[in-house]
Structures are given as structure tokens and as C-alpha cells.
């Protein structure tokens, strides 16, 4: 996006947001390119839309979007934003304590492992298919051990799913394995409602089988072709899912759209916020 167009969009969104009630969370992954080019302006645009909570995905070399953890925390809180969670795909046994300390200093509450770590995530470029290696025990042990470190630092560890965790492997589905073998004192889950739907599973059946384990949700819609869509512009009945939020264990929800297609990412999350209200999410933080 050219700078002049970006700043015009920021001004327009700011004008629209005057007097707007505050609710909802958004991941910065949706606006990752904007965050790379104009992090502070992008954060202000998100705050001006009325979002309250944000999830960071741009941590590298001890910095959040080019800002030291304390600087990042000070800036976002000055905008009225709560940096509630972060995705840390680079976490290993060796560097976890350093990253956890930075996450804590940035004001985060949740330390999210976004996919199988340490080389256990796979991607087939020919078919554009994500997956994981079969060593479920390694990933499970990693989650438990890093979860203990997070708790000691005052953070909560969550694991974020895609669709492949619901595909049987060695006679068991990885998602079920992790739910049954991680310690809920140290490990819980950020349930991606698009990906569980894409896998052909019903979130409600998981809430019933594993109540209280899904502390956060990624809320993103699916169009009739199975592609990502803004909340309220697709086929997922979020109202039905939200009715069971207490059984889920929901504490925060986060809007995400991995690809926004013809829409500018900021426009996509603005539309999603309107969709949140349609389904009643505005009654929750």
C-alpha cells in the first residue's frame, strides 16, 4: 500500500470511529505488511476503529515491530490498547526463557505457540498443504515444559490449531492427543474457529469433551469457496458457538484473516468488527 493511500485510510477510519464503543480483539498478523511499514500509525488506526485487545505476531531479536518490549507496551497502552497475547513460533527449549521475559515486559498475558515448534511443522509447497511430523510426544512435552516456564513468569501458554491437527496420525488426532496429554495447569488452547470448521469438526463437540480448555478464540469466517472472509461475510454461525463460550472457557477472542484478497487489511478488520457486533461479541471483551 502506498503511503499516501495508507494515511488517507487511517484518517477515514479515525473519522468513522468517533464515538464508537470499545470492544473486540485483533491480531496484528492480518495487518502484518502495514505493521512492517508503519507500525505506530497502524496501531492507532486499529485503536480508532474501537478495538480494545491486540495480539502481536512481529517479535524478532528482542523487539516488537522495531520497539523494545517496554516501549511497545507504553505506546499501545497510550492508545487504549491491551496487548493481550503474542504468537511466538521461534520459541525453543534454549531461547524460551528470554522470549517469555520479553513477552512479560511487553505486557502480554498469553504466550501462544502458533504451530508445531522446532521443525515439527511441515509445508508442501506443491499442494500448499500444512502438516506436522508424527512425533506427537515431542510436541506435547515441549508444550508442557514451556507452559511451566510461562506460569513461573506469570503468563499462560496456549497452543493454536490449524486443520491438520484434526487429521488422524498414528491412530489418534493430534488435537485430541494434546488435549488429553498436556497439563491444563500449564497448557491450554487458542481455538481457531475457521480451521476447526475447515477440518469438518464442530467446536461445540470439543467444548463438551474438553470444557474450559479454550481460553482464546481466533474468529475468522469462511466463504462459500472455503476461503478466509471477514467475520459476518461467510458461512460460519458464530452466534451458535458464542452461546457456549462459558463451557469453552473463553477469556478473549481475536479477529484474524490470513489473506484479505481484494480488501485492504485494515478495511477487512473494520468489516469484521461490524460482524462481531452482529453475532453479539460486543458483549464480551
**Is 4 within the bounds of a domain?**
no
Higher pLDDT, 206 or 14: 206
Average pLDDT, integer, range 91-101: 98
Q: If you compute the radius of gyration of the chain from its CA atoms, what whole number of angstroms results? A: 18
Question: Looking at residue 17, what is its pLDDT?
Answer: 42
**Is 191 within the bounds of a domain?**
yes
Average pLDDT, integer, range 16-34: 85
pLDDT in tens, 41-56: 999 999 999 999 999 9
The terminus-to-terminus CA distance of the chain in angstroms comes to 30
What cell numbers appear for 138 in the block?
515431542
String of DSSP letters for 139-151 = HHHHHHHHHHHHH
**Is 44 within the bounds of a domain?**
yes
Average pLDDT, integer, range 74-101: 98
18's enclosing H/E stretch is none
Average pLDDT, integer, range 244-269: 98
**Is 159 within the bounds of a domain?**
yes
pLDDT at 285 over 70: no
Average pLDDT, integer, range 132-155: 98
**Is 15 within the bounds of a domain?**
no
Strands 214-219 and 187-192: parallel
Full domain range(s) for residue 224 = 20-283
pLDDT at 14 over 70: no
**Distance (Å, whole) CA 47 – CA 42:** 9
What cell numbers appear for 137 in the block?
510426544
Tell me what the pLDDT averaged over the chain comes to: 94
**Distance (Å, whole) CA 35 – CA 58:** 8
Share of the chain above pLDDT 70, in %: 93
Strands 129-132 and 156-160: unpaired
pLDDT in tens, 145-169: 999 999 999 999 999 999 999 999 9
Name the one residue in this structure whose C-alpha cell is 495508507. 6
pLDDT at 188 over 60: yes
- 3-class state of residue 20 by DSSP: coil
**Is 13 within the bounds of a domain?**
no
Count of other CB atoms within 10 angstroms of residue 110: 22
pLDDT at 6 over 80: no
Question: Looking at residue 1, what is its pLDDT?
Answer: 52
**Distance (Å, whole) CA 57 – CA 29:** 6
CATH of the domain at 32: 3.20.20.150
pLDDT at 24 over 50: yes
- Put simply, whether the predicted model's pTM sits higher than 0.85 gets the answer yes
**Is 117 within the bounds of a domain?**
yes
Question: Looking at residue 284, what is its pLDDT?
Answer: 84
What cell numbers appear for 79 in the block?
492508545
Counting every residue written for the chain, the total comes to: 285
Tally of structural domains, the chain = 1
**Is 9 within the bounds of a domain?**
no
Dump strand ranges (E) for the chain: 25-27, 53-56, 59-60, 63-64, 82-87, 110-113, 121-124, 129-132, 156-160, 187-192, 214-219, 221-222, 228-229, 252-255
Amino acid at each position: 500500500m502506498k503511503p499516501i493511500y495508507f494515511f488517507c485510510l487511517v484518517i477515514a477510519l479515525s473519522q468513522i470511529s468517533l464515538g464508537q464503543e470499545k470492544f473486540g480483539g485483533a491480531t496484528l498478523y492480518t495487518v502484518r505488511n502495514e505493521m512492517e511499514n508503519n507500525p505506530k500509525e497502524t496501531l492507532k488506526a486499529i485503536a480508532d476503529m474501537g478495538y480494545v485487545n491486540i495480539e502481536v505476531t512481529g517479535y524478532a531479536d528482542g523487539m516488537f515491530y522495531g520497539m523494545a518490549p517496554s516501549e511497545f507496551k507504553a505506546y499501545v497502552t497510550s492508545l487504549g490498547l491491551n496487548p493481550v497475547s503474542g504468537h511466538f513460533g521461534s520459541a525453543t527449549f534454549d531461547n524460551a526463557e528470554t522470549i517469555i521475559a520479553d513477552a512479560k515486559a511487553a505486557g502480554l498475558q498469553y504466550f501462544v505457540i502458533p504451530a508445531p515448534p522446532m521443525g515439527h511443522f511441515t509445508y508442501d509447497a506443491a499442494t500448499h498443504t500444512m502438516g506436522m511430523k508424527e512425533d506427537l510426544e515431542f510436541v506435547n512435552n515441549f508444550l508442557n515444559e514451556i507452559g511451566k516456564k510461562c506460569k513461573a513468569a506469570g503468563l499462560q501458554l496456549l497452543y493454536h490449531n490449524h486443520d491438520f491437527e484434526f487429521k488422524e496420525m498414528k491412530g489418534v488426532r493430534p488435537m485430541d492427543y494434546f488435549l488429553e496429554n498436556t497439563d491444563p495447569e500449564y497448557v491450554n488452547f487458542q481455538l481457531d474457529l475457521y480451521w476447526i470448521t475447515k477440518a469438518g469438526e464442530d467446536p461445540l463437540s470439543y467444548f463438551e469433551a474438553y470444557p474450559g480448555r479454550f481460553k482464546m478464540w481466533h474468529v475468522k469466517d469462511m466463504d462459500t469457496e472455503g476461503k478466509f472472509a471477514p467475520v459476518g461475510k461467510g458461512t460460519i454461525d458464530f452466534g451458535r458457538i458464542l452461546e457456549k463460550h462459558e463451557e469453552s472457557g473463553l477469556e478473549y477472542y481475536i479477529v484474524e484473516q490470513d489473506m484479505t484478497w481484494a480488501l485492504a487489511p485494515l478495511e477487512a478488520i473494520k468489516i469484521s468488527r461490524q460482524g462481531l457486533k452482529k453475532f453479539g461479541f460486543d458483549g464480551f471483551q
